[in-house]
């Protein structure tokens, strides 16, 4: 088939999201969702927004939401762009800042959406292999000839944070290009580059409320950067769909961001559970990276990752496995509640001792 498909998408291999099961109740450790509910203030704002004002289009500029984000980061609203999930913000960034005639640099092992966007927007990716230990080879990102750089920190699916000094080196060696820093997992113990935005006019920090704020179902993400870069994102948005963030999402996201104490406490709980679960897995013989995210990246020297994936599924636990070079012997395990991680441990104990 594909009879009427545009040439642009006929050979596309799109991103594959993690499974959202509908048939039975699983312990879901496969899509890096937050195990804890969103801020009660966000839910209250959401309910308040659900009235006859839904007749009206939302504020295309997301003024109130951007003001809340700006205040949280010590920036001005002109340095903020809000979008319908950070996936949309990233897609706008690829279109706003990158050209086909110069390569876009990102790691060989990172968020797979970068490669999908590069292909979809007709860009030329330059894949930079991570070190054996999955560390970012900084020098390779500093050639100064690229048309764009994308770095996730903490990286997915490895969980490793990119040291701040390395980010600064990358920013300073690439004055010719925009450097996207994807901080989807920064809330779980990493150090944000948000306070470099005033200094580097080629920096765009991309954030999401899906992980740290427990609002994956709401679809809100944002970018921080120089006002001229944010204007480019608006230009792309207004060439496609001016109203990407709906009224209810704007209200809920603004309330969640203002409720700093709540979401920081939830994120701290997730980080503590992560470190406890990492120790448990290491006791079972797993190699586990030093994750600063809300997931673990683990490899067992004796039992194949695919075997563990299937065995866990039979025992009611979903995790993520990527059938890709270099990481097909690893599992990515989202951090759930302590009880969920205990169930994971019991299942893995059985599977690795068999």
Ligand X SMILES: *Cc1c(COP(=O)(O)O)cnc(C)c1O
Query: How far is the C-alpha of 254 from the C-alpha of 252, rounded, in Å?
Result: 6
Query: How far is the C-alpha of 257 from the C-alpha of 192, rounded, in Å?
Result: 15
The answer to whether residue 166 forms part of the interface with ligand X (CB under 6 A) is no
Residue 265 C-beta: closest distance to ligand X, Å: 21
Written as six digits, the tokens of 104 are: 């876009």
Residue 7 C-beta: closest distance to ligand X, Å: 27
Written as six digits, the tokens of 59 are: 């504020």
Radius of gyration for the alpha carbons in the chain, expressed in angstroms and rounded: 20
Residue 309 host element (H or E)? helix 305-314
The answer to whether residue 352 forms part of the interface with ligand X (CB under 6 A) is no
The answer to whether residue 221 forms part of the interface with ligand X (CB under 6 A) is yes
* Contact between residue 45 and residue 251 where contact means Cβ atoms under 8 Å apart: yes
Name the one range near ligand X by CB under 6 A: 44-52, 69-77, 208-216, 332-340: 208-216
Does residue 221 sit in helix, strand or coil? strand
Query: How far is the C-alpha of 328 from the C-alpha of 347, rounded, in Å?
Result: 20
Alpha-carbon distances, residue 77 vs 85, 109, 246 (angstroms): 18, 33, 19
Site for ligand X in 113-152 (CB under 6 A): 152
Among 92, 97, 111, 297, binds ligand X (CB under 6 A): 111
**Binding residues with ligand X: total (CB under 6 A):** 13
* Contact between residue 232 and residue 97 where contact means Cβ atoms under 8 Å apart: yes
Among 46, 73, 87, 347, binds ligand X (CB under 6 A): 87
Q: Which is nearer to ligand X, 336 or 347 (CB)?
A: 336
Residue 32 C-beta: closest distance to ligand X, Å: 6
Among 182, 187, 194, 340, binds ligand X (CB under 6 A): 182
The answer to whether residue 62 forms part of the interface with ligand X (CB under 6 A) is no
Name the one range near ligand X by CB under 6 A: 85-93, 124-132, 267-275, 314-322: 85-93
Per-residue 3-state assignment (H helix, E strand, C coil) for 84-138: CCHHHHHHHHHHHHCCCCCCEEEECCCCCHHHHHHHHCCCCEEEECCCCCCCCCH
Among 208, 244, 256, 273, binds ligand X (CB under 6 A): 208
The answer to whether residue 154 forms part of the interface with ligand X (CB under 6 A) is no
- Contact residues toward ligand X (CB under 6 A) are 32, 85-87, 111, 152, 156, 182, 184, 208, 210, 216, 221
């Amino acid at each position: 088939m594909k009879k009427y498909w545009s040439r642009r998408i006929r050979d596309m291999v799109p991103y594959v999201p993690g499974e959202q099961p509908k048939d039975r109740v699983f312990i879901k450790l496969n899509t890096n969702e937050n195990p804890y509910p969103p801020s009660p203030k966000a839910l209250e704002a959401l309910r308040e927004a659900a009235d006859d004002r839904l007749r009206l289009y939302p504020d295309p500029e997301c003024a109130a939401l951007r003001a809340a984000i700006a205040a949280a980061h010590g920036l001005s609203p002109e340095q903020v762009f809000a979008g319908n999930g950070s996936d949309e913000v990233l897609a706008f960034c690829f279109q706003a800042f990158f050209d086909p005639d110069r390569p876009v640099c990102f790691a060989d092992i990172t968020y797979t959406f970068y490669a999908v966007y590069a292909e979809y927007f007709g860009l030329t990716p330059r894949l930079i292999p991570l070190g054996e230990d999955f560390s970012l080879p900084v020098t390779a990102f500093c050639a100064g000839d690229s048309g764009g750089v994308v770095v996730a920190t903490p990286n997915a699916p490895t969980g490793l944070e990119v040291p701040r000094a390395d980010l600064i080196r990358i920013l300073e060696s690439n004055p010719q290009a925009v450097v996207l820093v994807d901080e989807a997992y920064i809330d779980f113990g990493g150090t944000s580059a948000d306070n470099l935005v005033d200094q580097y006019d080629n920096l765009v920090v991309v954030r999401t409320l899906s992980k740290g704020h427990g609002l994956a179902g709401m679809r809100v993400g944002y970018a921080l950067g120089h006002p001229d870069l944010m204007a480019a994102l608006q230009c792309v948005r207004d060439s496609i769909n001016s109203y990407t963030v709906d009224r209810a999402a704007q209200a809920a996201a603004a309330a969640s961001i203002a409720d700093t104490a709540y979401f920081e406490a939830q994120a701290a709980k997730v980080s503590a559970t992560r470190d406890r679960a990492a120790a448990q897995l290491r006791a079972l013989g797993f190699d586990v990276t030093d994750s600063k995210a809300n997931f673990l990246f683990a490899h067992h020297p004796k039992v194949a990752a695919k075997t563990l994936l299937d065995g866990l599924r039979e025992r009611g636990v979903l995790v993520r496995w990527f059938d890709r070079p270099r990481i097909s012997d690893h599992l990515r395990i989202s951090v759930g509640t302590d009880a969920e991680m205990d169930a994971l441990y019991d299942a893995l104990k059985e599977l690795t001792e068999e």
